[in-house]
Amino acid sequence: MNKKNIRHLSFDELNEWILKAGEKKFRSKQIWEWIWKMHATSFEAMSNLSKELREKLEAAFLLPAITTNLSQHSEDGTVKKRFKTFDGHYMEGVLIPVENRQTACVSSQIGCSLSCKFCATGYMERKRNLTYDEIYDEVALLNEEAENKYGKKLSNIVFMGMGEPLLNYKNVLKAIERITAHDGLGMSARRITVSTAGVAKMIRQLGDDGVKFNLALSLHAANDKKRNEIMPINETNSIKALIEALNYFHSKTKNDITFEYILFKGENDSLQDADDLVKIYKQVPVHLINIIEYNPISNATFIKPDRDATQKFMDYLAAHRVNVRLRISRGQDIDAACGQLANKENQV
C-alpha cells in the first residue's frame, strides 16, 4: 500500500484520520505543530505522543524531509548548504548574514529549464519541481543554521536560488503560505521576495491571487535583442509583455517590485544600456534597481566590468532619479554568490 506524505494532508484531513484511528481530537493539533512549527523530521521525535500513536503514524504515513548533505562556510560568514531529497536529488540554499539581517536564499526546482547564459543552474537539466514541504524544509534548516551560528532567526527570504519559482507556481505559493502561517514559521510575507526571470502570464496570476510578498525581475538587459541572447525566455516573454504584467501585478497588490541587473563588460554596461534601463524604470512602479556584480562560472565567458565602469553606470541611473543600489556579492569563495549555484555533487 502506498503511504501518503503526512505533510500533504490538510489539518481537516489529519483530524479526520485521527478520529478514525480512535484517538482524541487534540492529537491533531499536536501532530500539526510537530510537523510545521517544530519541524519534526520523524514520527519518533514527536515525544508528547504515545508510542502506540507514533507507531500508527509510522504505519500509515511518510515524513520525507530533506536533509543537509553538505555545509560550506565562506570567509564573509555566508553559509551554503547542499540539501538531499528523499529520492536522491540535490539542490542548494544559502544563508546570507548582513548587519541586522539574516537572509535565506532558497531554491524552487532541482535544476532549471530556462538556460540563462550567465547562470550555473541554467546549464543543468531540470530534474523536477520541489514540493512545498521540501521548500519549507530549506527555510527551516537555514533558520536553524542562523539561530545556531548567529543567535538570530531568519529576517528575510529570497527565492533566488536554483530554478524558476513561477514555473513551480503552486508549490512556491503553498510553501510561502506555510512559512508565513501562525502555525508554521510565522514569518512576514513582506519580508519574502520571489525572483523571476520573467514569466509574464504567471506575474499576472500573482496579481490575481493577491499575494502579499514582493517581486523581483531578473532583467539583466534593457532591450529585447540583448536579453534574447542571454535569457532565451525573453523570446516568448518580451520586455513589453513584462512591463504590462508588472504594472498589472502592482495595480492588484501594491507590493514592491525590484529589478535585478547583472553588469557584463561590453555587453550591457554602456551608458546607452543605462539609458534604456531608465526608460523601462519609468514605465513600471519599481521600488529599486539592484546592480549586481557578475560572478564568474566555468560555462560562460562573461567578464565583470571594472569598478569605474560600474560606478559610471550607476551614476547615470542616479542622475535620472533612479533608486539604485550596488548589491555586493557574498559567498563567492564557496560558489554561493548570485548565479553560481550548480549542485556540484562531487564536492566534498
Catalytic center residues:
92, 338
Cell of 23: 484517538
- Beta-sheet strands, E only, within 137-256: 156-159, 192-196, 214-218
Rounded Cα distance, 269 and 262, in Å: 9
Compute the distance between CA of residue 330 and CA of residue 95 in angstroms, rounded to an integer.
10
On whether the CB atoms of residues 216 and 262 are closer than 8 A, the answer is no
Question: Residue with C-alpha cell 555566508?
Answer: 78
φ and ψ at 106, to 5 degrees? -115, 155
The secondary structure element, H or E, covering residue 132 is helix 132-150
Q: What is the number of helices (H) and of strands (E) in the chain?
A: 10, 14
How many whole angstroms separate alpha carbon 258 and alpha carbon 242?
13
Burial 1-13 (b: 16+ CB within 10 A, else e): eeeeebbebeeee
**Per-residue DSSP letter, 72:** E
Residue where the block lists cell 482524541:
24
